Structure 1
Amino acid sequence: MNKNGDLVDDNYISRLISVSLNQILKKELATAGIESESNTVVMDVDSFSGTNPEISLEEYVKTYKPGYFSANMIVKEIPNVTAESFEKALQAVYKAGLDTTFQVAIRVISKDDYEACLKKFKSLSEISDSMYVDYKVVDEMKLFIDSEGFHVFQAGKGGE
């Protein structure tokens, strides 16, 4: 922001877009009984100089052509969570992002540690592996969706 309070240029708009994507994921997963929180970042954006905080996800993608979206996600431990449990949510994000590739690293956190992990997760603007040191991660998965469909890069204990 400049001294007049006008947004000049920063990552504020891309963070708003990330919040939109996170909300889509959370809503889709909640309908499947999965409690989650995600932190998405926009990757490989064409020269971004946007300053309109009212920009829609669709307009953002059309204008700035992100190469892909990348997310970290935590999920509260429940029985029988597999990589496929996330397919519908990834399809929804892919569609909302106008067929922009979306990848996500998911960590399933024990029921006992989830609330504390969630609090820390929400407080951070960037997520690294070290964030999880104090919490019991019961499973991990890496998934992505692109023009060829839903893919499991790394399956967790729950299967392929």
Structure 2
Amino acid sequence: MSAMSMSKVAYGRRVGAGSQPVGMNSVTSAIDRIVTYIPTEVIVMYTAIVAAISADSPPSALRWVAFWVMLVASPVVVWLLYAARVRASDGSPPLKPNSWPLVEMTFSTIAFATWAFALPDSPFSELAWYSAAVAAAAVVLATTALGLVAPLFRKPLPA
């Protein structure tokens, strides 16, 4: 899914914004929760940046810079999409931090870090303890855990 999905989930938590879509059963709801917290827009940008950097084979410092920049971008993208959705519905963006989708912003950041960790040519691949098996396990565990614990943090956001 995407940061767009996360902004939709966050918007659904707003007081008076609506409820769960009709036709969702427990299985589709669980799968939807699991894949919602993968910030595909940010991962795609990061993958393109790392590929461009790796093509020229510069020092690994550039890959670390790309990772940290995109890590910071991940919650910002979720907030921007959420703010656009809120503004389209009632005309005013959520400028106060207590009205921000902090759960989705945090989960997006964790999911991005996990997926970036698993990508080939990521800066993590240079670490001595890194392995593809560890990276794969991290992606499966983190993605599943984020989707499963998300309902524990579902409380209405102020309108």
TM-score band (shorter)?
0.3 to 0.5
Provide TM-score, normalisation by structure 2.
0.35
Provide TM-score, normalisation by structure 1.
0.35
Of structures 1 and 2, the one with the larger relative CO (CA 8 A, separation 6+) is: 2
Q: Which has the higher strand share?
A: 1
Q: Which has the higher helix share?
A: 2
